[in-house]
């Protein structure tokens, strides 16, 4: 019997049009599989009643001959993205009872495209983490091996796709939070250019870095979900009026003559040997398709993590100041004076990692330290941007690199070592600092069966070339066809 929840978007389209199954049956299959795989802890909230009601309406539209790009496709939404009438917690106790009165722009766009939202996906609290162990609702487990992390902060989004619960999900990426979990879970994930997708209705972590993107089990499906959410939004001053190409048209195009930049700073001693071997084979495969590998240098790469952990916490300190126990969110009980109410509400509501980053951010913004840390970090960020500009101007069309220095690690293994955890994002953070589009796709497995991710980095607004190169590589390999046993 066909596992409806594991179907690709093209198979869903075909099945719905030919009446092999209904949208209600498809949605029920996704919800049932989510329940069956509750042990993975992908979802914070499942919306069974609302999803089945939406599915009934879509079946009526299908019967009337209506069409939409993603009509009837089940989707999961990262719990940092507001959904009208559906609890949205950002993975935090401080928002455990928050029900937004409106939809985020990306949610509204997915509804217009015809998707059915089945629920809200687990995540690191306020998107702060690389392992999805910082959630107030418990860690997410990797479908390839439940003893390992799925990556973070969008761990629930990646795990739900890898487990075959739904074909596409939304996540956010501030320093690698789409690409790193995509790599750890063996699927495709793309962070668009900063400003390509509206952030309206996305609970802010670091506003100059956050960007919404998508996950899928293959490149074409990823292109379709990204297509649906792109475009300028008058509600978001940082969204940019840039033409949105038809990303699906990039699928299947030749890569002959494209220059693929290989940054020497990304192939260093800290790179795990099996990861490097898989990457080298991927480079050879793409070269065999007619692309031209070119060694490039991104000399300020080693400073990116330090810059990020000054700038992102600084912005978080400002953005999270609104959670004070007064207006909304968790409020400490008792007859407390104002200062004690603030302190106790925030101490009870925020987890340790969020508290750590708020404290760091407040420190670097404080009088006497602003110039020494925050201002200096902004200047180094400009140098990182220039590194990419120089590479794309003269040397290459797209950059190929590891997504992470190693693969998924065991649950609990790095919780007590924040620095080691932070270094896991060393290859993804520079892309956010420069505002560039970045994608991860599977390129192999370790000897113990864990996925390895390949990262593609593009010029600003050039997601199309990423889809072009990714689809060419995907067509020449079989990594995307490998599924964990629960999605075999």
Catalytic residue positions, numbered = 78, 153, 177
- As a whole number of angstroms, the distance between CA 329 and CA 94 comes to 5
Q: How far is CA 427 from CA 402, 404, 422, 424, in A?
A: 7, 6, 11, 8
- As a whole number of angstroms, the distance between CA 406 and CA 400 comes to 16
Pairing relation of β-strands 259-263 and 188-191?
A: unpaired
- As a whole number of angstroms, the distance between CA 467 and CA 454 comes to 13
Q: Yes or no: say if 157 and 181 are a contact pair by the CB < 8 Å rule.
A: yes
Q: Give residue 444's region: left, alpha or beta (phi > 0; psi -120 to 50).
A: left
From 439, 470, 452, 368, select the one nearest 404 (Cα to Cα): 452
N-terminal to C-terminal alpha carbon distance within the chain:
12
- Residue 457 φ then ψ, to 5°: -120, 130
Token couple for 20: 């092999």
Q: Yes or no: say if 81 and 104 are a contact pair by the CB < 8 Å rule.
A: yes
């Amino acid at each position: 019997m066909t596992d409806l929840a594991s179907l690709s978007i093209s198979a869903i389209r075909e099945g719905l049009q030919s009446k092999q199954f209904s949208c209600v049956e498809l949605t029920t299959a996704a919800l049932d599989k989510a329940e069956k795989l509750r042990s993975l802890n992908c979802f914070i909230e499942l919306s069974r009643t609302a999803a089945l009601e939406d599915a009934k309406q879509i079946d009526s539209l299908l019967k009337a001959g209506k069409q939409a790009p993603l009509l009837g496709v089940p989707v999961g939404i990262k719990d940092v993205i507001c959904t009208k009438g559906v609890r949205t917690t950002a993975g935090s106790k401080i928002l455990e009872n928050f029900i937004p009165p409106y939809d985020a722009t990306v949610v509204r766009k997915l509804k217009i495209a015809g998707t059915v939202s089945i629920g809200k996906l687990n995540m690191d609290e306020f998107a702060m983490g690389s392992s999805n162990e910082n959630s107030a609702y418990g860690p997410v487990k990797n479908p390839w091996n439940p003893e390992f992390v799925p990556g973070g902060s969008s761990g629930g989004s990646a795990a739900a796709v890898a487990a075959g619960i739904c074909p596409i999900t939304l996540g956010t990426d501030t320093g690698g939070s789409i690409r790193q979990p995509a790599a750890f879970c063996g699927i495709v994930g793309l962070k668009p250019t900063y400003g390509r997708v509206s952030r309206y209705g996305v609970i802010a972590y670091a506003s100059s870095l956050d960007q919404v993107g998508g996950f899928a089990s293959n490149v074409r499906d990823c292109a379709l979900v990204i297509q649906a959410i792109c475009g300028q939004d008058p509600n978001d001053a940082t969204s940019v009026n840039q033409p949105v190409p038809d990303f699906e048209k990039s699928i299947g195009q030749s890569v002959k003559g494209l220059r693929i930049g290989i940054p020497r700073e990304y192939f260093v001693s800290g790179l795990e040997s099996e990861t490097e071997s898989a990457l080298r084979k991927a480079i050879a495969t793409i070269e065999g398709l007619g692309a031209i590998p070119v060694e490039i240098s991104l000399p300020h790469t080693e400073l990116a993590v330090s810059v990020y952990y000054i700038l992102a916490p600084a912005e978080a300190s400002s953005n999270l100041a609104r959670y004070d126990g007064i207006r909304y969110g968790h409020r400490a009980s008792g007859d407390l004076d104002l200062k004690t109410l603030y302190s106790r509400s925030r101490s009870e509501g925020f987890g340790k990692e969020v508290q750590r980053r708020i404290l760091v951010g407040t420190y670097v913004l404080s009088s006497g330290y602003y110039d020494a840390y925050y201002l200096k970090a902004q200047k180094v960020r400009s140098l990182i941007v220039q590194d990419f500009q120089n590479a794309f101007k003269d040397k290459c069309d797209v950059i190929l690199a590891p997504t992470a220095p190693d693969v998924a690690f065991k649950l609990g293994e790095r919780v007590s070592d924040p620095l080691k955890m932070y270094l896991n994002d060393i290859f993804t953070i520079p892309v956010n600092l420069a505002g560039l589009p970045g994608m991860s796709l599977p390129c192999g497995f370790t000897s113990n069966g864990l996925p390895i991710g390949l990262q593609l980095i593009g010029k600003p607004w050039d997601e199309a070339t990423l889809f072009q190169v990714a689809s060419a590589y995907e067509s020449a390999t079989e990594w995307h066809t490998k599924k964990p046993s629960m999605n075999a």
